[in-house]
Structure 1
């Protein structure tokens, strides 16, 4: 078929391009709307205390670490006072074990991102 003389040759192509652009724009809008809905759901769950940020987990664990370290640090002196006959070697051994436990406890919150990755990898 011959095109009318006043119709540009690529008008059909332009309309096709416009339709394709409109489709891509609509798809982008749908993705954005879905992402916004998901973000709102997560915010609602957080507000309802159904989920927490990993930053909160790090914060809570760092506070717990301090509490644990304080208790662990007091054990050797408490043992020495309670059991006056405890040997120096036993007390030193106890102090070393407690120091290891304290060091492990005080580094836990810094490992949260790594632990999260490990958990997600093992859950999938």
Structure 2
């Protein structure tokens, strides 16, 4: 099976690979760096020191305040899709991003609004 191609020049549709944060220490370091809240998403971001890792790394978290397991998983699935749509174009190489789900909002807000929230938060964090 062929990989998906772009509309014009035949380049791969997904050119930036997002690496997922898995270690608690990475989440803690991101939480003590820059933060930006929006109605649908809370973004935590930090620029990594030289030589630590390459590429864009992203993590997702939802506390029990978001709801039961079904609500938390739905919110995290939506956060993953939003990050796949926005971070390849607006994320910076050498940065860690943590997307935090919001209670009663992340799982129910329209998808276009979540994308706009993440774009706004990234502009503020990188300014």
Structure exhibiting the larger radius of gyration computed from Cα positions: 1
TM range (shorter): under 0.3
Higher normalized contact order (CA 8 Å, seq sep 6+, divided by chain length):
2
Query: Normalized per residue, which structure has more strand?
Result: 2
Query: Normalized per residue, which structure has more helix?
Result: 1
